[in-house]
Amino acid sequence: MNLLVKVLVMIGSSASIGFGMWHFFVPKAWKWYSYIDINATELVAAVRAINVFFSLSLVLFGILNILFVYGGKSNRYSIVVMLAATCILWVTRLVFQIIYPQGSMSPVLQYGMLSAFIIVSLCYIISLYIMASQKIAG
């Protein structure tokens, strides 16, 4: 396994896990539900479910990428597939930050998020490129 891939996946995965863990607490920290009508209980439940699903997905993608790259039991195909799925996830988030920026109340927050999403996306994209372009032994 390429050392650069291992380092980049560890950086990207650590960030994914961190963002996922942090996102479990975002609704309370940013008082999401105060913006929703108190009578819209199904909307609150839907927002909560989506946030938990999203947060858990980030944590699981991060853990799985680490296990696939560092575990020694994965083949090149499984690593490429996992990295491709993770790239799609992070590039989508990056595009959304560019088109519909969050954190616009503070330029530091807005561009800090953009920078973080660029870095994480690049970690996974570069890893995917290296893994996909490796010659198959045999």
Q: Terminal CA-to-CA distance of the chain, rounded, Å? A: 16
Sign of the four-CA dihedral 5, 67, 50, 113: negative
Confidence of residue 137 (pLDDT cuts 50, 70, 90): low
Model pLDDT for residues 88-97, shown as the tens digit of each residue: 999 999 999 9
The whole-number average pLDDT for the span 43-71 is 97
